[in-house]
Structure 1
């Protein structure tokens, strides 16, 4: 299991460590690019100044070759630097998305229940995408700038210490003072921008998923106004960041030109005239390494805020964890619940208090209860989505929380009222329940769920795409695909929450006949209110006053 990510440093180290060669190579290529640029400008300036003295061509041979070398190498190094850095960045982003998913998967559903779907989607897409700025604009540029600045100061000191000191002052102002200004101005705006983007993403996803209800209740104008407000706020915040960028860019231009003039003035009394142009143009080239630092500070703030939103999710520890010393899987499947106590963090009233309940292997029972009575909570406890605080749940004499989660969930197949369908084929949506199942087995499960006639009407048959969350299907069709998933599994215990919801009478009757035949040898727990189902089970229980009461 992936360890929780608790700090930005941990986050960066975990994703950059596998690609350290690419990171170092891109930084080296960045330094070589700037060095080639400085070499090109300084050599060209010296060559032009020397030509004014009309020397022999032999005296210019080395400098001419150097100009050609630096000109070609600068383009080559820049191309390689962009190639390596972007390749590394995309690999880092891919790993980060996978790591983020692996980190949040054990948190579902207990720890993720406080987050909205759109918010989580925004974090895994937009916030992770923002982190590319950390490497491209916040990590590599300072390293390149530091190495280049040290080399330039040493080079200028070889001509005159005052010139080197002048250059140092302007490099410090441009590389430290100006980025600090940009960071301070961008800090609150960057945080607000990330938060507002998250709200906008959440609102968009909620509106898309609930478009039918919005249209049915005539809420189009209200939702449109809300989206426009969020969009306008995002645009205003982006404009404020752009203003900081504009001010920084203007100040940068003034500083670069001022540095060139100051270097020229400081060098006049001490440096041979043939080297004056060389130092002046070298100053312009040297600032190529320092200029990105202002952007690094501005984009770094946005990226750090995005990273913090990821850390806010991943720092949590899962509610349910695998045991350190797991028990062997059971060979019999009697379900025995004794003294079960469970309550959510809020409200503090327990859902179950000393609940006792036994279902012998192969028995079919039904559980009744009003909304909020705890039926779904019982299913979540059996599926190991939540951890019970006291008591015992045993299958075949083995404590449920002493089994690995995958093993425990392999013993119990659950059909909930909210089943997600992926935007893939009908065949693959059913196969999710048993990834190793053959096409024939999947089709057989679909036929048992009364899907054969519907599939036969589709142009692509079982290869028909169902759309996001089954958007192209009716409620009954989605329900039958979910039921086919359960029928495909070999789980000895099956829990069905209103299995015939959204089905017409004819289809319901056919499915019930098939379902009870297929599940005749398995333990079946029905959560339902339909009398047609109650008549087919051996015993009926009701959830009331935090316990199960047998009523038949």
Structure 2
């Protein structure tokens, strides 16, 4: 609950105006709705009495009040939806940016990226209920209860006593829904949701191998089992919420009966008129719905608390890492040298591994130099490429880009300085132009065609009547493997980085296509330095220098040609 309270305070500090105006506007239709019932009941009864007794009744003022309350209620409902959701989405937009920034800085390893993204999405979605289903309903119910207690006190102590008993009953029910929250099923639903995502992703990605080895049915059964667990946990939570709502309705009906008796006794004793008594009874009829609005949020508090705890911990971790980055940035100012990129005694170990995949690696690439990284499969070449592009961060040592610590560079600066070309460059189910403009959103059509010409794809695209607006299928369907690789190359040409990283860029291509792609790249790379994770002779031939990673680690810095 502490982290939920922290999220509430964070939203309040983020925009006090939107936080407060949302609650105020939510209060208006609630009060207007209750008053509309009360005033209408009073007016109808007073009109009936006036008609039978011949007493004078000013019908214009009550009619105007009823119309005004109806307008306020209708407009208030609309305004409540707009302003409360606006306040929530404003806060969540900022919070989402902070969480993504924290993950980028802390480099949350040990989990699959899909799981992290899915969990982040679900957690942020859960937190949108903090303000909408917890803060607003609770405050509206509390303010309404205070106003009603004040009105009952002015009319009749007996009425005040009855009202206080039943308002206390709703308060007790709210406390029970909070204190006896079903945390076990909330955690089960959370874990089952993760399991569904992971197992479904594995099933889809590995369906070919699963079909070949006869494991498809078992994998599908694993997804179904996780889905059943989630459904059972969710059903248990929903059943509990239903029981709480039923209990609230029962309290409301008992309250209505008690107020009816108190109103009859008050009217009989002359404490207030019959029309006022009818109005009071009708107001009470609206209360169960109003007070029940706070129960679903309280019942779902365990799920919200789990999301809040993970979110707050991620932001804290990111803030801690950014503080370290500031120190590293000061250290970077003391560095000298103009190497395009430099590894200084870098070590890295994957979570759960028994040893470092690379250990104490040091080497440099000068501006404009092409360096090929060779070595047996599994020796850590792709890990070096990931480290150089800050997709992962070293456990020990330092990586410098143009003399500055890689960790100190803002994300935008880093991505403008380093471009990665891999065998799995993804092409989206969109137009050719949209796929290219991922690298340069403001590029003109002329610049796109120039990039395609450099990648030897201009003629192929010009034969298509739709040109740059031709739609590619998912993953680049409609282009051959070599054409997909050339399109990725054209996208890279739209950038002007200081360093290109080629990670198995020609893997899966025949020798002729590989040589053509590499020649095209080398002709148009400009003055950028290049780090190649090399597997083929044509890649090694492109290099000015070859670094054998295994020998480099053994010699603690010795480079072998």
* Shorter-chain TM-score tier: 0.7 to 0.9
Q: Which residue of 2 aligns with 1:525?
A: 531
Pairs within 5 Å for 1:108-507: 108=104, 111-178=107-174, 180-181=176-177, 184-210=180-206, 214=210, 219-270=215-266, 271-272=269-270, 274=274, 275-317=276-318, 321=325, 323-325=328-330, 327=333, 332-333=338-339, 335-343=341-349, 346-347=352-353, 349-388=355-394, 391=397, 393-394=399-400, 400=406, 404=410, 406-456=412-462, 458=464, 460-470=466-476, 475-507=481-513
Structure that is richer in helix per residue: 2
Distance in 2, matches of 1:102 and 1:477, equals: 38
1:206-255 Cα offsets, whole Å, 9 max, x none, are 54455555556554423332222222222222322232233223222221
Is the CA contact 1:109–1:385 (under 8 Å) kept in the aligned structure 2? no
Distance in 2, matches of 1:278 and 1:253, equals: 20
Q: Residue 531 of structure 2 aligns to a residue in which SS?
A: strand
1:242-298 Cα offsets, whole Å, 9 max, x none, are 322332232222211211222333455554362443433332234443232222312
Distance in 2, matches of 1:453 and 1:216, equals: 40
Is the CA contact 1:368–1:529 (under 8 Å) kept in the aligned structure 2? yes
1:105-134 Cα offsets, whole Å, 9 max, x none, are 453386233333443343344433333332
Q: Which residue of 1 aligns with 2:38?
A: 42
User: How many corresponding residue pairs?
Assistant: 546
Q: Which residue of 1 aligns with 2:518?
A: 512
Q: Residue 155 of structure 2 aligns to a residue in which SS?
A: coil
Measured at CA, do residues 147 and 397 of structure 1 come closer, stay the same or move farther in structure 2, by a change above 3 Å? closer
Distance in 1, matches of 2:235 and 2:348, equals: 50
Q: Which residue of 1 aligns with 2:56?
A: 59
Q: Which residue of 2 aligns with 1:3?
A: none
Distance in 2, matches of 1:385 and 1:166, equals: 65
Which stretch of the first structure deviates more once superposed, 321-330 or 153-162?
A: 321-330
Is the CA contact 2:349–2:357 (under 8 Å) kept in the aligned structure 1? yes
Q: Which residue of 2 aligns with 1:80?
A: 76
Measured at CA, do residues 473 and 136 of structure 1 come closer, stay the same or move farther in structure 2, by a change above 3 Å? farther
Distance in 2, matches of 1:409 and 1:257, equals: 63
User: Normalization by structure 1: what TM-score?
Assistant: 0.84
Measured at CA, do residues 99 and 461 of structure 1 come closer, stay the same or move farther in structure 2, by a change above 3 Å? farther
4+ residue segments displaced more than 6 Å: 328-331
Distance in 2, matches of 1:100 and 1:339, equals: 35
Is the CA contact 1:339–1:353 (under 8 Å) kept in the aligned structure 2? yes
Measured at CA, do residues 38 and 404 of structure 1 come closer, stay the same or move farther in structure 2, by a change above 3 Å? closer
Distance in 2, matches of 1:254 and 1:390, equals: 64
User: Normalization by structure 2: what TM-score?
Assistant: 0.83
Runs (5+) with no aligned partner, structure 1:
1-5
Measured at CA, do residues 37 and 49 of structure 1 come closer, stay the same or move farther in structure 2, by a change above 3 Å? same
Is the CA contact 1:119–1:199 (under 8 Å) kept in the aligned structure 2? no
1:480-536 Cα offsets, whole Å, 9 max, x none, are 333333333323432212221122333223223323333475433321121232234
Q: Residue 28 of structure 1 aligns to a residue in which SS?
A: helix
Distance in 1, matches of 2:20 and 2:351, equals: 47
1:33-55 Cα offsets, whole Å, 9 max, x none, are 33333333333444454434756
Measured at CA, do residues 8 and 463 of structure 1 come closer, stay the same or move farther in structure 2, by a change above 3 Å? farther
Distance in 1, matches of 2:205 and 2:347, equals: 36
Distance in 2, matches of 1:503 and 1:47, equals: 85
Distance in 2, matches of 1:347 and 1:426, equals: 41
Shift of 1:372: 3.1
Q: Residue 60 of structure 1 aligns to a residue in which SS?
A: coil
Shift of 1:456: 4.0
Distance in 1, matches of 2:527 and 2:44, equals: 94
Measured at CA, do residues 375 and 129 of structure 1 come closer, stay the same or move farther in structure 2, by a change above 3 Å? same
Distance in 2, matches of 1:360 and 1:287, equals: 74
Is the CA contact 1:423–1:467 (under 8 Å) kept in the aligned structure 2? yes
Shift of 1:137: 1.9
Measured at CA, do residues 254 and 241 of structure 1 come closer, stay the same or move farther in structure 2, by a change above 3 Å? same
Q: Residue 534 of structure 1 aligns to a residue in which SS?
A: helix
1:421-463 Cα offsets, whole Å, 9 max, x none, are 4443333333333445443333333333333354345553333
Q: Superposition RMSD on alpha carbons, in Å?
A: 3.7
